């Protein structure tokens, strides 16, 4: 029920962190992979290991989600190669800082990269999923969907907007095509390291002190690992998750206090 043989998965932001770990998890399950990111060289270096892990075919898609015209061309190319059954929408979050200080252009750019690009991908690839009777859209968001995180104002706003978008679509997509969100907690990635540096500079603490404070809020007592997020994502992509639709699943070591 968890195998993905014969399924084609598009993994966005596949060059590092959770996206890379997700590509590896889907490869082990036998999925054909299209890896999307701006770093073509990094993606190219992933091809052989993913083939060795079990993927029957791995292709590299160099694209910038801020360039919607270019993204449209990429999506047309993917459609011409056959059905894409799985989309993992994973994009690095916007810069930190209070929402009060955010420029309108920064908000628009974040909504474009996260929300409009996701909508464009869905509209382009949904017809093939509908015809195949199988489709999975999984958004990699943040626990800020449930509880906003201090000094991540634009990210909080954007992630919540995408979660609402996905929940609305969960009522509209045809049978066999599901949409769900994974909400990572503090996960040991390059993105988290950058945030620790930024928070430390604002609060006159070292990055290690910032990380220790974060870990102190997690009942599991540690940061998450990218592969733990990837396993949750891979499950939602699988046939075993066919009756799960419109959920936002926290993978956060128990940090969220809300039900």
Predicted pLDDT of residue 197? 86
Tell me phi and psi for residue 178, to 5 degrees: -110, 160
pLDDT cut 90: percent of the chain above it = 88
> pLDDT, tens digit, for every residue of 206-227?
989 989 999 999 999 999 999 9
**Does the structure show a pLDDT above 90 at 80?**
yes
All domains in the chain, ordered by first residue: 8-185+225-251 (3.40.50.720), 186-223 (no CATH)
**Does the structure show a pLDDT above 90 at 115?**
yes
Predicted pLDDT of residue 60? 97
Predicted pLDDT of residue 195? 82
**Does the structure show a pLDDT above 90 at 256?**
yes
**Residue that wins the pLDDT comparison between 2 and 144:** 144
Predicted pLDDT of residue 95? 86
Predicted pLDDT of residue 203? 85
**Mean pLDDT over the full length of the chain:** 95
User: What number is the average pLDDT over the span 110-124?
Assistant: 97
pLDDT band at residue 235 using 50, 70 and 90 as cut-offs: very high
Q: Tell whether pTM > 0.75.
A: yes
pLDDT band at residue 78 using 50, 70 and 90 as cut-offs: very high
User: What number is the average pLDDT over the span 192-211?
Assistant: 87
**Does the structure show a pLDDT above 90 at 14?**
yes
User: What number is the average pLDDT over the span 156-177?
Assistant: 98
């Amino acid at each position: 029920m968890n195998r993905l043989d014969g399924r084609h998965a598009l993994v966005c932001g596949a060059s590092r962190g959770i996206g890379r770990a997700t590509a590896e998890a889907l490869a082990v399950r036998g999925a054909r992979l299209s890896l999307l990111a701006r770093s073509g060289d990094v993606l190219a270096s992933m091809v052989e290991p993913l083939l060795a892990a079990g993927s029957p075919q791995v292709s590299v898609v160099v694209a910038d989600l801020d360039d919607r015209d270019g993204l449209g061309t990429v999506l047309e190319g993917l459609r011409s190669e056959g059905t894409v059954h799985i989309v993992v929408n994973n994009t690095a979050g916007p810069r930190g800082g209070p929402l009060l200080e955010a420029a309108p252009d920064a908000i628009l750019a974040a909504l474009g990269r996260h929300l409009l690009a996701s909508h464009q991908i869905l509209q382009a690839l949904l017809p093939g999923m509908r015809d195949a009777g199988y489709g999975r859209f999984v958004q990699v968001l943040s626990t800020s969907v449930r509880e906003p995180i201090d000094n991540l104002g634009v990210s909080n706003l954007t992630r919540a907007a995408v979660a609402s978008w996905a929940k609305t679509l969960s009522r509209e997509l045809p049978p066999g095509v599901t949409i769900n969100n994974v909400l990572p907690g503090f996960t040991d990635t390059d993105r988290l390291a950058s945030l620790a540096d930024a928070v430390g500079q604002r609060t006159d603490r070292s990055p290690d002190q910032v990380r220790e404070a974060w870990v102190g809020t997690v009942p599991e007592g540690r940061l998450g690992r990218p592969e733990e997020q990837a396993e949750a994502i891979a499950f939602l992509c699988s046939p075993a998750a066919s009756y799960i639709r419109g959920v936002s699943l926290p993978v956060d070591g128990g940090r969220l206090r809300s039900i």
